[in-house]
Structure formats: C-alpha cells, structure tokens
Chains A and B, each alone.
Chain A
C-alpha cells in the first residue's frame, strides 16, 4: 500500500471514528472528552514539506469541523501542531538518518522515549489551544485547567491503545524513494 493511499484512508477513518464514535460517547463529566482525530497529523510521513503539512492539517481540521458542526474550532489547533511538528522532530531526532530511513514517526523509528515526548507535547499543546479557544468564549479559569488536564490524559490513553491495536511496521524507505 502506498503512503498516499494509506494516508487517505486514515484521513477518512479518523474523521468517521471521531465523529460517529467518540463524539457520541455520553459525557462522563464536562471536563472529559475523548479526542483522537489529531493523531492523523502526528502520523503523517516525514517527507511532507512544512507548507504541505500545514495545508493538509487545515483541510483535515476543516473537514472534521463541518462534520462536528463547529467550523474553525478544531482547525486552529490542527494547523498549530502541524506548524510545530517539524521543530519538535528536529529537536528530538538530531541526526537526519532516521528521517531518511523511516517513513513516519513511530515508536520504532524514533525510540520509545522520543516518540512518547513527541506525542505528549503535541497532544498537550493541541488540547490546550482547543480548550483555550472555547475558554475565550465562556471564560472560567477552573474549566480551562480542569479540561486541559483531564482531556489530555484521556487522549494519551486513547493514543496508547491505538498504538497497541494497530502496530505500524517501521518501514525502511528505499534509497530510490528518498
């Protein structure tokens, strides 16, 4: 399966799963909301340029927003993590060798510690910005802190489960493709 086809399928699946499964889960508490859709952006291949990455995140966020009926709300954090992703990847993996020999970020290609840091930071930033935009509308500081903490924790658990359920082979890229 080519990388393009794989990512198109992921695009559709992540939106459908988020909209029709996780958004339908009855809320346990107002702070707890399961989010996993942004994993699509975290799993995008290394070799997409930064403008491409941001445009993809923009389209992905907007599509998701039209399904969930909140145009723009999730798009801003999506573009934000797409913008920060290359910085973070450069920090976490200083040698270019990994980016050249592996297709996309995963525990196998980056090592558990780096990959966990990568997921943790971007998840936290994504949800913090998302809740911050909500907070600008409704304004309650306790709500902001509580929701960021609880929702980030739940998202991390979901991402961990997703990693366990769908192990991705850290495929070596051939030199011809690079």
Chain B
C-alpha cells in the first residue's frame, strides 16, 4: 500500500496531466457526438451575455448592410402579395405558388421566429452561431435557422435566453437539398475550405445542371421549409469514375455579416417523426 502511495506521489504530475487531458477529451468527444455539453446551459448564458455586448458594437458597423438585406427581403415579400399582381400575370404566379404553397403548404405549417445574432464564427472547421432567443421564447432543438437571403443552420442547443446554432459551415452539417430546375435531390455539406462555398453531393450525372442554377432546400428536410435558397452552382465537378456530380455551391447567405435570423418552427414535425419512428419499430 505504501508503495502504491509512493508511486502515485512520485508520478503525481503525470497522473494529473493524464486526468486533465482525459476530462477535456471526454468533453470534446461527448460534445461532438451528442451536442449535449455538460455545462452548456450555464456556459452559453454567460458567454451569450458577453457576446451580446460585443455584438452591440459590431452591429453598429453593419447597420447599413443589415438594412439593405431587410429592405430587399421586404421587397421580395411584397412581391409575393396577391394584390401586387395584375390579372394578366396570374398564371405564372400560380405556377410558382403551387410549388411553394398549395401542394406543400397544406401539409406543413411553419412558424418563423425572428432572432438577433450575437455571436458568429466563420474561421473554424466547425462553426457555430449564437442567437438571442432561447427556450423561454419557444426555441427547441433541431429547429431550422434561415436568414434574409438563405439558410444558415440548425439549432443544436438551447438555454433560457440563448440558443446555439450549428452553421451550414460545419463539418457535421448536412442539409437535404435539390436543384430548383428539375428537382434533383442531394446532400449539401461543407469541406472546411472556403466559407463562401459549400458542396452538394449525390446529384446523378443524368441530371441537367448548369452553372448559376439555384439550389434550394428539399421537401425531405423536416426542419427547413422547402424552397428556401441555399445558393447557386459555381462549379460542376466530381470523380469521372462515379455516377454522381459534386457541385460547388456559392452560398446565398453571406456568413461574414449575418445580423438577423429566423428560427423555423415546423409545428407538425413531431407528428411526422412519431409516425416514422413507429414504422421503424415494426
């Protein structure tokens, strides 16, 4: 026994080093797998407050750009109003409308909750965003997050007043997407290289895609409403031996200066998930 104690005392520093390293690796692995951080609630309340302070300064410098974005979005929404269409145009409008509203709008119901961005990274391999809106204000895990120009990410963690969003610019992020022309579906993820571009996989080579085509969210991803802009095709690539394209997509959202975001609440998603879980069991 005395030898053991002597041994431990002799190598105390090494043991302490191993224990501390073990704890931090544990936290890291646990976080990456489940996104349930041990102290996440306390930590994100505290860091969120500091982030909000910082943002109040940063926000001022980006006011002009934010204003332009919101004005552009307003104009776009105004354009969708029925009253702004003359009768000769109606036919085309109904065609667009039927895609976005009639066929799908009847099935799903989405509620949009606006939130202020208080912290935002672009320079890491796994980027996260903090929004000033939490479980008290109706945010739940897995909600989709979109901005004025396109999608941003999804909620992975909430505290009382803040929520943490996994940005599309994250190695773990995968978004179900489709091309606006032809509805070829695929998966959008990020290769960690350039924050302005994401990659769309699994598009069959039979698909007719052109540079400049729009990529939108598909109707398979429950947390985003279908038809939200992801970006436009910037380059078409892919292994000649495989049957699939890898499309380089320029993101519609400018991740360098996001100031406002909308959390998307799919109000009947729980029902869909329940049904799917039930089928798996059988």
Among B16, B29, B194, the residue within 8 A (CB) of A54 is B16
Among A20, A27, A70, the residue within 8 A (CB) of B122 is A27
- Interface SS, A side: helix
Are A71 and B27 neighbours in the complex by a CB distance under 8 Å?
yes
Please measure, in the bound complex, the distance between the C-alpha atom of A46 and the C-alpha atom of B139, giving whole angstroms.
48
Among A24, A30, A73, A83, the residue within 8 A (CB) of B28 is A73
Chain B residues whose CB sits within 8 angstroms of the CB of A62 once the complex forms: 24, 27
The residue in chain B whose Cβ has the minimal distance to the Cβ of A84 is B17
Given contacts A66-B39, A67-B47, contact A27 B123 (CB under 8 A): yes
Chain B residues whose CB sits within 8 angstroms of the CB of A23 once the complex forms: 121, 123-124
Given contacts A62-B24, A137-B171, contact A72 B31 (CB under 8 A): yes
Could you mark each residue 99-124 of chain B with 1 if its beta carbon is under 8 Å from any beta carbon of chain A, else 0?
00000000000000000000101111
How many residues on A have C-beta within 8 angstroms of the other chain's C-beta atoms? 32
**What is the CB-to-nearest-CB distance from A126 to chain B, in angstroms, rounded to a whole number?**
13
Chain B interface size band reads: 35 or more
Are B28 and A25 neighbours in the complex by a CB distance under 8 Å?
no
Whether A166 is near chain B, meaning CB under 8 Å from some CB there, is no
A-contacting residues, B11-26, CB 8 Å: 12-13, 16-17, 20-21, 23-26
Are B43 and A27 neighbours in the complex by a CB distance under 8 Å?
no
Please measure, in the bound complex, the distance between the C-alpha atom of A30 and the C-alpha atom of B125, giving whole angstroms.
8
**What is the CB-to-nearest-CB distance from B32 to chain A, in angstroms, rounded to a whole number?**
7
Chain A residues whose CB sits within 8 angstroms of the CB of B27 once the complex forms: 62, 71-72, 75
Number of A-B residue pairs at CB separation under 8 A: 94
Whether A69 is near chain B, meaning CB under 8 Å from some CB there, is yes
Identify which of B16, B123, B256 gathers the most chain A CB atoms within 10 Å of its CB.
B123
Whether B193 is near chain A, meaning CB under 8 Å from some CB there, is yes
Are B25 and A76 neighbours in the complex by a CB distance under 8 Å?
yes
Chain A residues whose CB sits within 8 angstroms of the CB of B195 once the complex forms: 26-27
Please measure, in the bound complex, the distance between the C-alpha atom of A80 and the C-alpha atom of B24, giving whole angstroms.
11
Whether B54 is near chain A, meaning CB under 8 Å from some CB there, is yes
The residue in chain A whose Cβ has the minimal distance to the Cβ of B127 is A69
Q: Show 9 residue pairs from A and B whose CB-CB distance is below 8 angstroms, ordered by the A residue.
A: A24-B123, A33-B124, A54-B13, A67-B50, A69-B121, A71-B27, A71-B28, A71-B37, A72-B29
Taking beta carbons and an 8 Å cutoff, which residues of B are in contact with A?
A: 12-13, 16-17, 20-21, 23-29, 31-32, 37-40, 43-44, 46-47, 50, 54, 119, 121-126, 128, 130, 164, 171, 192-195, 256
- Pairs A-B, 7 closest by C-beta atoms: A72-B28, A75-B24, A72-B27, A69-B128, A66-B43, A83-B17, A72-B24
